[in-house]
Structure 1
């Protein structure tokens, strides 16, 4: 009968200090990852859509796209405030009906779903400061 060599496996033994250090490193990595997730979820408010808080007379910048607009409310003299709200209609989702009777309207923003239904009628902001 022949002797077989032992199967591969961990041959090094770790001291309690090394085990503690490795656990602290792992815990630090988990906490850093949790912090990044929290920052992403609850991050700066300038990336959040402020459309539902707009009222007539407010100015805003579209920080989204033309297809999926996200508004950032700004002071009307801010050079980035491209649009001025003429009407906020929280009782409608059809921009044709809501904005057709508002003089000076050059565009509209409609949001529907999740209990937040409204139409914002707006025009180009002529009060903004030059960039």
Structure 2
């Protein structure tokens, strides 16, 4: 007659060294995943966007794209300073309302969400004066 082992019992084929090794591998994987999550949450951010710090009279270059603009503040005589801020509306939400009364405006940069603002700007005429 054959003997059938009980179901659900511990498997005697694993030695204590193998169990310890498997636990260390599991712990290593968990630590790597925790490190990746921490890096994504608290890791370095793109700090080039200085849009929120601009004020009237400042000049900047768009280091982003037309759809996702990122302003880098520059001296107005810098050859890369393409735009000059005419107005910074910290309470602005819609550029057509904020910039409609600003003479010379050729474009605007809008940030919505927390910390809304609208920047009205024109092409920088001073960028080649050094």
1:32 is paired with a residue whose SS is: helix
Map Cα deviations across residues 84-122 of structure 1 (whole Å, 9 max, x no partner).
4332111322322321233332211223333x2221112
1:61 match: 62
Query: What is the TM-score when the length of structure 1 is the normalising length?
Result: 0.64
Give runs of aligned pairs for residues 111-130 of structure 1, distance below 5 A.
Answer: 111-114=111-114, 116-125=115-124, 127=127
Point out where structure 1 has 5 or more consecutive residues left out of the alignment.
none
Q: Give the number of equivalent residue pairs.
A: 122
Point out where structure 2 has 5 or more consecutive residues left out of the alignment.
none
Q: Is the 8 A contact 1:93 1:117 kept in 2?
A: yes
Moved over 4 A (4+): 4-9, 47-50
2:106 match: 106
Structure 1 stretch 87-96 or stretch 117-126: which is displaced more?
Answer: 117-126
RMSD (Å), alpha carbons: 3.4
